[in-house]
Amino acid sequence: MPSQGLPRLSLAEWLVLCLLCEAPSHGFALTRLLAGDGELGQVWRVPKPVIYRALQRLEAMGLAVTVEVQPSTEGPARSLIDATNVGRKAAAGWLASPVSHNRDIRSELLVKLALLDRAGADPAPLLDAQRDKLQPVAEALEARLAEATGFERTVTLWRCETVAATLRFLDAMREPAAAATAG
């Protein structure tokens, strides 16, 4: 059960750790990747101070380690940081886990899908696991909607629609050919 016993990290910290697992890197490179106009920043941006603090925290937790201080040809020296084996295992477990709440789909699930996409990995297992997790939630909400009155009905209706939208999204993601090579 890789979803058990994961350390409690913020989304930014998980994201940074996963990027270190792709390849050893340093703060400045990560800030460019995760800036608003960066490659991953289109999906989820992480401000500079948060990245450097994440690196410090990951090191303090033994999930990452500074392997070398590289003299750069184009500026000051930079600290190359790599994930540890503990860090790699934690990252792999996190990456494979569906999110618990629908509100975290936009942030956490999309980040996981983006990371899998970068790695060229198959997103299908994660998509299926996420579907299995949300399907019962959707059913419970619809049951509740049938009975809800007053403003609780409004909130429940909203939750029903958004969970249903997530399920449709997950289904559509299972058929990538449809629009990628339409016809």
Residues near a second copy (CB under 8 A): 42-43, 103, 105-106, 110, 113-114, 117, 145-146, 148-155, 157-158, 161-162, 164-166, 168-169, 172-173, 179-180, 182
**Residue 155 Cβ vs a second copy, minimum distance, rounded to whole Å:** 6
State which residue, 107 or 162, has the beta carbon closest to DNA: 107
Q: Which helix or strand (DSSP H or E) is residue 91 part of?
A: helix 85-96
Q: Please give, one letter per residue, the 3-state secondary structure of 123-160.
A: CHHHHHHHHHHHHHHHHHHHHHHHHCCHHHHHHHHHHH
Give residues 6-35 in contact with DNA (rule: CB under 7 A): 10, 12, 26-29
Q: Are 159 and 151 in contact (CB under 8 A)?
A: no
119 binds, among a second copy, DNA, none (CB under 5 to 8 A by kind): none
State which residue, 124 or 165, has the beta carbon closest to a second copy: 165
Signed CA dihedral, 147, 101, 129, 119: sign only: positive
46 binds, among a second copy, DNA, none (CB under 5 to 8 A by kind): DNA
Cα 78 to the center of its chain, rounded Å: 26
Select the residue interacting with DNA from 50, 63, 109, 115 (CB under 7 A).
Answer: 50
d(CA 178, CA 111): 22
Q: For the chain, how many helices (H) and strands (E)?
A: 8, 2
DSSP 25: B
**Residue 20 Cβ vs a second copy, minimum distance, rounded to whole Å:** 20
169 binds, among a second copy, DNA, none (CB under 5 to 8 A by kind): a second copy
State which residue, 32 or 106, has the beta carbon closest to a second copy: 106
In this structure, which amino acid lies at residue 51? I
Q: Are 98 and 109 in contact (CB under 8 A)?
A: yes
Give residues 75-134 in contact with DNA (rule: CB under 7 A): 75-79
153 binds, among DNA, a second copy, none (CB under 5 to 8 A by kind): a second copy
What is the binding site for DNA (CB under 7 A)? 10, 12, 26-29, 46-50, 52-53, 71-79
